[in-house]
Structure 1
Amino acid sequence: MEEGTNATNKPAGQYADGKNTPIHNDKATVRLPMLMGITLAGGMLIGATFFGGTKSLNTIGRGYTKYREILQLIENNYVDTVNTDDLVDYSITKMLEKLDPHTAYMNPQDAVAARAQLEGGFDGIGVEFNIYKDTVYVVTPLAGGPSESAGIQSGDKILKADDTPLVGGKIENGSVFKALRGKRGSEVKLTILRKGDKEPKIFAITRDRIPTYSVDASYMIDAKTGYIKINRFSETTYDEFKAAMTSLKAQGMTQLMMDLRNNPGGYMDRATNIADEFISGNKLLVYTNGKDNRYDRKTFAHIAGQFEDGPLVVLIDEGSASASEIVSGALQDHDRALIAGRRSFGKGLVQMPVTLSDGSELRLTISRYYTPSGRSIQKPYVPGHEGDYEKDLELRSKRGEYYIADSIKNDPKLKFKTDGGRVVYGGGGITPDYFIPRDSSWQTSYLIQLYGKNIIREFAMEYTNDNRKKLEKMSFADFDRTVTINDDQMGRLVKEATAEGIKFNEKEYNRSKNYIRTQIKALVARSVYQKSNKAGQNNEFFRILAQSDDTYQKALKLFDRADKLEHGMFTYNQK
């Protein structure tokens, strides 16, 4: 986890507009979302307006009076001391559950953390950290950041930040963020205990702007095939994407694999901009429909994109949501890309961020979006039954949907057609053109316990630090060819796991062994070569992982199908 970023991983798009423009309200309405005036930046809505006429305002006024009376009675008369701010936050949260699964309220701390995911950077010391056994470890100092310049190393234990202890008790991500982040130019003194040292050292670090990136990887798989992995649609995603595409085309790319797996979404306009890079002419990319035409918008292709011709394979899975589904839906509807993998999450609702005067935030659903063929891909929900909605992915697993294509049950009433006449479905995510089952051959209880105790990451960090001087002299090609995690080293990992209370299971270990080797090697590659990576990409890490990524390997064989699809040849078996 990068210092300054959010730990949340909800599969939902973040913003409806294309900008990070907060919307402020006066103090009188800070706790009353029913009364909020709203302004949507980016052109979807200009100005502020209440949600209805006089009758609606009168109704809201009566509700506000009742609510204020009850709070006052609790404050003055309840038998025990009560934090009314907590009661207000709770009541708002429960009220929003009557709407839809993605309208949400966040307190100021959570709102700041969530926004940080989509911003282009944050002010901090520039480390990736991990909490293990109530201790904060440096996974790696970010390349070019102030921590690296100050001499912080992978594996360092952060005992204190100024006078704030970061060891012992229950350490949470939020407290670490608070201690390490701060205005650029400000100084923080870290008390560091390094492996092999008996006494801690103090490092004075001046905080600076730390950029964050959303294009995880961008490299040539072979002489003609490019690969781009996007982890979210943030403030800088489109610029990162364009730079990656320019580089790949300069290296001779004529076909592309774009990986949107586990991408939870983000800014809508970044998604449509990227779709526009692949779709020619002025074709429709997405449209939205709200309560009235204030929230209605159609977005069309309008630029000469960098890759409007050439085979394109897009990878999605059940973690691909919102903006990811806008991109894959537009490309599928226009028969521009072969969508491969598993059915996406199914989030077709657009939220607008409303920042309240105390820094808390309401993310209010103001419209639904539709793919060019007219599909709403929002999966069904019943207001007030969030538990059922959240269990949808679990139910997919129980139905066998992750392993058998025919287990995907599309609603025959929600049938649509692409430009070329192919049948596609709405009502619950993007169904891929080519189904690739989840590879679970390596998944075992023993592996889960290793992850739970952080054994694999810790082992990789120790291996890197013990061999760093030798490894840093290698090119990545030499590293990939010669470095292996041998049986003796795997035996050491097992011993460390046993010492941490994980009972050895030989059968499960043998199933997971090759996967564990790959994970360790990938983590080592990331630590060794991160300094040489441009724009925050971890190409070496993902190159190693790809060697045992079943979806990736099968997708490499789909470019002939993608080429036929682009040229209107739809006779192949789409499953």
Structure 2
Amino acid sequence: MAVKPPLQPVLFPEPEPRSARRRARQPWLLALALVCGVLIGANPFRPSDQNPDGTARGYLKFKEILSYVDRDYVDSVDAEALSDYAIARMLERLDPHSVFIPAKQQQAASAFLQSDFDGVGVEFNIFHDTVTVVAPLSGGPAEQSGLQAGDRILAVNGERVSGVQISTDQMFQKLRGPRGSKVVLQLRRHTVSKPMNVALVRNRIPNNSVDVAYLLDPTTGYIKISRFASGTYDEFKQALGDLRRQGMTGLVLDLRGNPGGYLDRATKLADEFIGGTRKIVYTDGKGDQYDTQTYSRVLGEFEEGPLVVLVDEGSASAAEVVAGALQDHDRALVVGRRTFGKGLVQQPIALNDGSELRLTIARYYTPSGRSIQKSYSHGLAAYEQDLQNRLRHGELFHADSIHFADSLRYKTVHGRTVYGGGGIMPDLFVPRDTTAFSAYYTRLQSHNLVREFALNYFQGHKAELEALRPEQYLATFRISDAQLQELAEVAAKDGMPANPIHLKRCAELLRNQLKAYIARSAYGKPAYYATLREQDAELKQAVQAMADGSANPMQKLSMK
């Protein structure tokens, strides 16, 4: 029997816990959690080489039972829905990341990594069942038609969307559509007494994955990547080139909260930093069919110079491949907290009805031999509780709460000790801010009150804010005690009793977030991220590492 050539593996980001997917049952959760991949020449009906008779018996048994249920069960049943359910439960017995995506959800699941989409180009949020424009996207139909931050969307094509508990996914479906199609939005604007109708023609909207790129100081660049989408590498190359032309000699690469994506975009990005022909990542599967090795092969644009990679417990999958490769080659200092630990390779298999099977076929390993995947031997429930367990055990706050067995010790190219066991352990640990875990602060965020307050402030002070340059705003603007008290009063009306002690505890964090959200509405994303920097402990450590020379581990080792 001829052996099929190995297929290009695809690394998917960490999916939403299955229990949450069962509770929510909304396609947009899959869209945020799963990433599409391209599979060439897959044959889902290839017989098993190990147990063909067992596979055939199982298939016939399932077919027979489903036929009896469909024909004889006392109530009418949806046989296809039952089949989808059975498949999903079966895959849960394998590992946490082998999943089945029904046909009606496949398109939404694939949209997460598209580099563009057809729509009106508006960032929105939902405050108290009211869809509110946060910002029109640059160059999109919404901006060209004059939509403004703070506009309330009351109806879409005559169908009411305000006050009807519409979901984010449902709103996306209403705003997106084929290029050239028309949509009419009914808006209420702060400065206009009556609702107004605005007609827009949908167009292609960039779906950027490089959130921001700017200079932290005259020589230190900062690039934040939210995911590894189809256009990520090109966006990154452009951002890197722009920063270098502005005088950048050191770089902070922010992969915090990055759930992963296309592996080839991630390895191409890593190749920009790693010189020569060096291993970036390898896979190990059943037999050798899915064993692969990926090496650096191009002359990168930033193979020398100080480099810091920021990671946290939300960094997963392809983001971990990049961080692990740069750490193993002593090319970058990794700063933050241990990453998620998702290093299983899923092969996407398109099924005849338009659904998709994403089957784990191998594991990913860093160049030193570390497995990125954390253990799932204690079952799915324990696996899904891992991040909560890290919080309870103190791992997010204390580096000495993390213990590694001697068997998990590995060495970088130049002899530094790094650790396996799941995820990438940073070189420099930075604890989370404990104020972000206070019950009062958490409720303010979950009720969306901070963003709403900031948007209302922007609307009421738009003229004076726009009279300031972003640099002036960053240097002089401050949220006052009176404004924090006003936020607390708004929260009290929303069912959150005032608590002066808790408000004081998280005051500085709230001031920074409110200032950043106001900057987002008034000046755009660069000002938003520049404001957040004021309270960003990981970024401050990265800048310090640039100053003391530890941002270039290889250079530091050569000096010893």
CA deviation string 1:508-558 (max 9, x = no partner): 10111121111111111111222xxxxxxx221111001111121122111
**Counterpart in the other structure of 2:59:** 64
Shift of 1:420: 0.8
CA distance, structure 2, for counterparts of residue 11 and residue 94 of structure 1 = 21
Q: Secondary structure at the match of 1:278?
A: coil
CA distance, structure 2, for counterparts of residue 185 and residue 378 of structure 1 = 44
Shift of 1:134: 2.2
1:170 matches 2:191? no
Farther off after superposition, 408-417 or 296-305: 408-417
**Counterpart in the other structure of 1:28:** none
**Counterpart in the other structure of 1:268:** 263
CA deviation string 1:276-313 (max 9, x = no partner): 11110001111112223221211111111111111111
**Counterpart in the other structure of 2:354:** 359
CA deviation string 1:289-346 (max 9, x = no partner): 2223221211111111111111111111111111111011111111111111111111
**Counterpart in the other structure of 1:181:** 176
Q: Is the 8 A contact 1:13 1:321 kept in 2?
A: no
Q: 1:529 to 1:173 in 2, by over 3 A?
A: same
- The letter for the 1-side match of 2:466 is E
Counterpart mapping for 1:107-126 below 5 A? 107-126=102-121
Counterpart mapping for 1:390-409 below 5 A? 390-409=384-403
Shift of 1:6: 8.1
**Counterpart in the other structure of 1:320:** 315
- The letter for the 2-side match of 1:546 is R
Counterpart mapping for 1:190-201 below 5 A? 190-195=185-190, 197-201=192-196
Percent pairwise identity: 46
Shift of 1:12: 7.2
Q: 1:370 to 1:183 in 2, by over 3 A?
A: same
- The letter for the 1-side match of 2:131 is V
CA distance, structure 2, for counterparts of residue 571 and residue 414 of structure 1 = 28
Q: Is the 8 A contact 1:460 1:523 kept in 2?
A: yes
CA distance, structure 1, for counterparts of residue 167 and residue 62 of structure 2 = 34
CA deviation string 1:429-483 (max 9, x = no partner): 1111111111213542111121122111111111111222232232211111222
Q: Is the 8 A contact 2:31 2:110 kept in 1?
A: no
CA distance, structure 2, for counterparts of residue 118 and residue 290 of structure 1 = 25
CA distance, structure 2, for counterparts of residue 410 and residue 103 of structure 1 = 28
Counterpart mapping for 1:153-552 below 5 A? 153-195=148-190, 197-382=192-377, 385-530=379-524, 538-552=525-539
CA distance, structure 2, for counterparts of residue 174 and residue 10 of structure 1 = 9
- The letter for the 2-side match of 1:569 is L
CA distance, structure 2, for counterparts of residue 389 and residue 492 of structure 1 = 41
Q: Is the 8 A contact 2:157 2:185 kept in 1?
A: yes
Aligned to 1:14, which of 14, 35, 52? 35
Q: Is the 8 A contact 2:492 2:498 kept in 1?
A: yes
Q: 1:564 to 1:92 in 2, by over 3 A?
A: closer
Farther off after superposition, 445-454 or 180-189: 445-454
- TM-score w.r.t. structure 1 length? 0.88
**Counterpart in the other structure of 1:569:** 557
RMSD: 2.3
Runs of 5+ in structure 1 lacking a partner?
22-39, 531-537
Shift of 1:88: 1.6
Q: Is the 8 A contact 2:31 2:112 kept in 1?
A: no
Q: 1:443 to 1:570 in 2, by over 3 A?
A: farther
Q: 1:114 to 1:379 in 2, by over 3 A?
A: same
Shift of 1:99: 0.8
Counterpart mapping for 1:33-182 below 5 A? 40-41=39-40, 48=43, 51-53=46-48, 56-182=51-177
Shift of 1:369: 1.1
- The letter for the 2-side match of 1:551 is E
CA distance, structure 1, for counterparts of residue 131 and residue 423 of structure 2 = 38
**Counterpart in the other structure of 2:7:** none
CA distance, structure 1, for counterparts of residue 152 and residue 396 of structure 2 = 40
Q: Is the 8 A contact 2:30 2:108 kept in 1?
A: no
Q: Is the 8 A contact 1:12 1:102 kept in 2?
A: no
- The letter for the 2-side match of 1:526 is R
- The letter for the 2-side match of 1:368 is R
Shift of 1:504: 0.6
Q: Secondary structure at the match of 2:370?
A: coil
Q: Is the 8 A contact 1:443 1:512 kept in 2?
A: no
Q: Is the 8 A contact 1:6 1:116 kept in 2?
A: no
Q: Secondary structure at the match of 2:153?
A: strand
